[in-house]
Amino acid sequence: MKFSLPTRQVTTDTTEFKYFETDKQGVIRQKKAYLNPFMDLYNLEILSHRLSKKPTYVPIKEALEEAIIKTNDCKYRRTFHSDQGWSYQIKNYVKTLKDNQIFQSMSRKSNCLDNSPIENFFGLLKQEIYHGEVYRSFEELESKINWFIDYYNNERIKERLNYMSPVEYRQFHNNLSVA
């Protein structure tokens, strides 16, 4: 599946991570963190993301607003795709998309294939920096995720992108269209 125009089709989802923190009494407690990225389906680049300690709407809203800004130069109708999760059905989310003339697309119920590019990204992320690792603070986990997203966007090559990273692929094709 190849998408021909940058920033025209974006996908998002939320994934969960576990990390550990030591409380004031010295007891180690398992905690959860939630990652909310927005991915350009043209080159699989992560346009924006937020990691939070609670599954609330605020980090999704912040990442959404950043993704909207980064896709504003698209001359065609933009589509933001997600699953049918609670956060993507909130009136504020739907209104934000409508106010920015963005079409909302949602996966069919119980069909993860509709959202496979972002699910694939989650699999890579967890395989490369999470599984087998122990994170001892939210900040340590956040730092590693931020590092990975930067690496993924700028250095990790993909066969589908002619062995370029997502950013290299976008820049190469931007230069072709300018020439």
pLDDT of amino acid 76: 93
Query: With bands split at pLDDT 50, 70 and 90, how would you rate the model's confidence at 1?
Result: very low
Question: What structural domains does the chain harbor?
Answer: 9-178 (3.30.420.10)
Distance (Å, rounded) from C-alpha 28 to C-alpha 132?
Answer: 18
Given a cut of 90, is residue 4 above it in pLDDT?
A: no
Q: What is the mean pLDDT of residues 57-65?
A: 98
Query: For position 112, what pLDDT does the model report?
Result: 61
Q: b or e along 36-75 (b: 16 or more beta carbons within 10 Å of the residue's beta carbon)?
A: bbbbbbbbbbbbbbbbbeebebebbbebbeebbebbeebe
pTM over 0.75: yes
Q: Which residues contact 38 (CB under 8 A, 6 or more apart)?
A: 10, 11, 12, 46, 47, 48, 49, 63, 64, 66, 67, 80
Q: Output the average pLDDT for the chain.
A: 93
Provide the angle, in degrees to the nearest 10, between the axes of the packed helices 116-125 and 138-154: 120
In eight-state DSSP terms, residue 132 is T
CA distance 177 to 34: 37
- Indicate the residue type of 81: H
- Alpha helices in the chain, H assignment, sequence order: 57-71, 91-99, 116-125, 138-154, 166-178
Query: How does strand 9-12 pair with strand 78-82?
Result: parallel
